[in-house]
Amino acid sequence: MKTPDVSCTIDAYCYINPSEDPKKVEQAITNILVDVDVKINKESVRVTSTSLESLQKIYETINSHHSKNAYRRQLNQNMSDESSWFYLNKQAAFANSVALCSESEESPLGPIKIVLNSKNIQAVIEWLISNRE
């Protein structure tokens, strides 16, 4: 996976339900995002990274499961000046699988929200949904 020379901050947030083990919620996020800084409190898990390499598993899933159009649609719909975001299913992530959610309600225990921040957000999106090496 060759990453572009673009500065990007990746943030992921996930609510911890009262019935959930915070360590399992953390594991769900770190199953899909690698080399991230993790912060846990009673209510949520937040991870951050400044490396596109952290998106490796998501990148590979997008390019191996022919889901580019769905991700492109979500990222473009949720794009603002310098950021975009999408939801992933928390239960799938815990099982080490990447599953896009169109809406937060598609993940029964709540989704993982992935936020990409970059002055060149369009280049980040194009890289993520392309399979050029």
Residue 89 sits in a domain of what CATH number?
A: 3.30.1440.10
What type of residue sits at position 21?
D
Residue 19 covered by a domain: yes
Residue 2 covered by a domain: no
Q: What pLDDT is stored for residue 89 in this prediction? A: 96
Q: What is the pTM of this model?
A: 0.92
Q: What pLDDT is stored for residue 133 in this prediction? A: 47
Residue 28 covered by a domain: yes
Q: What pLDDT is stored for residue 83 in this prediction? A: 97
Query: Any idea what the Cα angle at residue 31 is, between residues 51 and 5, rounded to 5°?
Result: 15
DSSP-derived letter for residue 132 is -
Kind and range of the H or E element at 32?
A: helix 22-32
Residue 74 covered by a domain: yes
Q: Quote the CA–CA distance of 9 and 94 in Å, as a whole number.
A: 23
Tokens 């390019």 correspond to 63
For the chain, 133 residues long, the average pLDDT of each consecutive 10-residue run is 87 96 96 96 96 94 86 94 96 95 90 97 92 54
φ/ψ of residue 60, rounded to 5: -65, -40
Q: Which domain holds residue 61?
A: 9-128
Q: What pLDDT is stored for residue 24 in this prediction? A: 96
DSSP-derived letter for residue 55 is G
Number of domains in the chain: 1
Residue 4 covered by a domain: no
Q: What pLDDT is stored for residue 1 in this prediction? A: 65
